[in-house]
Amino acid sequence: MATREGSTLDPELFAEDPARDARFRVKERWVECTNMADDDPRRIVEFLNRQMNEELNGLESLARSLGDFPDVDWEIRLGLARQCADEARHTAMFRKVLEQKGGRVGEYPVLNFQYRIIAKIPTLVGRFTVQNRSFEAGGIDAVEFGIAKAREEGDSVLAELFESQLADEILHVRFANEAIATLKQRDPKCILQMGAALTSASKAFREVMGKEGTEGVRYPVAAGAREEAGFKPQEIKLAGDLSDTLAARRVAEPQGDVP
């Protein structure tokens, strides 16, 4: 089994690590990973290894929700199971391209922060809010950007991988938006549970990533894909406005912290 010393992260915000075999070196914070410059030729292999593990985190989070909420509506459970299958396929896809590009599983350290954040959330609506409407919605923006960049660089293999991933991510976010609407209609206090989940996830994300892991990271909001995923126009505009505001503040205050 993969081993590391006891966790230094806040136990109120993080669940225990999922199991990993001895190939993996599991870290807790972004700064502990191998973070290379954009022009480093090894960067793509490191990215593929880390992303493969993140897709596995997605599968593990969904499987955990299936086990933790056995009484939820059958249609929602079926959607969770379908997404599990998609995440398993993504994991295999990333491994295949990783190895095609000369990498190997476990070559670089990985983070399990997504699973550890999601599994700590006590409500299903909260997990949908963080996993699908936050992590995967942000992934839609990043993947759409990645497709254009891969095409520009002539990497058709990576572009096709991202295109397949994007199609699934849109469906995952739309499934969660529909499930959340159903759950909110049935129990209005779900709105409070969504807010609580976002608050705890935001604190946990900052603890893992730190300033180093988020500074300068910004992708254009994929408005069309987000609309297809079921976000309302005002939600898409809010996401774009927030992205633009953070980018402007980084330019205006390059030496200071963004509170």
For residue 153, give both structure tokens: 């660089």
Task: Decide if 6 is inside a domain.
Answer: no
pLDDT in tens, 71-122: 999 999 999 999 999 999 999 999 999 999 999 999 999 999 999 999 999 9
Spatial distance between the Cα atoms of 178 and 150, rounded to a whole number of angstroms:
32
137-152 helix and 156-186 helix, angle to the nearest 10 degrees: 170
Number of independent structural domains in the chain: 1
3-state secondary structure of 91: helix
Q: Phi, psi (5° rounding) for residue 30?
A: -55, -40
Q: Is residue 223 part of a domain?
A: yes
Q: Are 201 and 132 in contact (CB under 8 A)?
A: no
Sign of CA dihedral 52, 180, 73, 229: negative
Average pLDDT along the chain: 90
Cross-strand bridge partners of residue 27: 111
- Does 175 fall in a domain? yes
Asked, for residue 2, whether it belongs to a domain, the answer is no
**Pair 145, 158: CB distance under 8 Å:** no
Element (H, E) at 110: strand 110-111
In a domain, 21, yes or no: no
List Cβ neighbours of 34 (8 Å cut-off, separation of 6 or more).
46, 108, 109
pLDDT > 90 in the chain, percent:
84
Q: Where in the sequence is the domain holding 68, given as residue range(s)?
A: 26-252
Question: Which tens digits make up the pLDDT trace of 138-177?
Answer: 999 999 999 999 999 999 999 999 999 999 999 999 999 9
Report the pLDDT value the prediction gives residue 216, as an integer from 0 to 100: 63
Q: Which pTM value belongs to this model?
A: 0.89
Task: State the CATH number of the domain containing residue 248.
Answer: 1.20.1260.10
- When pLDDT is cut at 50, 70 and 90, the band that residue 242 belongs to is low
Residue 106 · residue 24 · CB < 8 Å: yes
Residue 13 lies in a domain: no
124 in any annotated domain: yes
